[in-house]
């Protein structure tokens, strides 16, 4: 899934957690944070640190891929 907004990220995290049949408290225990931290990540994802995103992605079996946008320009051979 391509993430375009923080809201997309929050929805993805919530969906991934539910797909693993975990509640917020269970996920929080797994990564060593309070349940309210998980709630904040899902509802206010613009505040997630990179460290937290990496912990969440590992716990939820998500891959993070960062790419440069593909250019529509054609390279000229000179």
Closest CA to 15 of 30, 27, 31: 27
- Quick one: which of 35, 62, 43, 46 has its CA closest to 5? 46
Residues in CB range of 8: below 8 A, 6 or more apart: 1, 2
- Summarize pLDDT for 19-48 with one digit per residue, the tens: 999 999 999 999 999 999 999 999 999 999
> What pTM did the predictor assign?
0.83
What whole-number distance in Å separates Cα of residue 15 and Cα of residue 20? 9
User: Rounded CA gap, 73 and 11, in Å?
Assistant: 33
Residue ranges per domain, the chain?
6-59
Task: Give the fold, CATH level 3, of 6-59.
Answer: 434 Repressor (Amino-terminal Domain) (1.10.260)
Mean pLDDT, residues 44-68? 95
Q: Give me the pLDDT at residue 67, please.
A: 85
């Amino acid at each position: 899934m391509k993430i375009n907004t923080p809201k997309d990220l929050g929805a993805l995290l919530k969906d991934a957690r539910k797909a693993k049949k975990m509640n917020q408290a269970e996920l929080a225990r797994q990564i060593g944070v309070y349940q309210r931290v998980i709630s904040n990540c899902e509802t206010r994802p613009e505040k997630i640190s990179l460290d937290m995103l990496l912990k969440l992605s590992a716990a939820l079996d998500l891959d993070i891929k960062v790419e440069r946008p593909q250019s529509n320009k054609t390279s000229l051979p000179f």
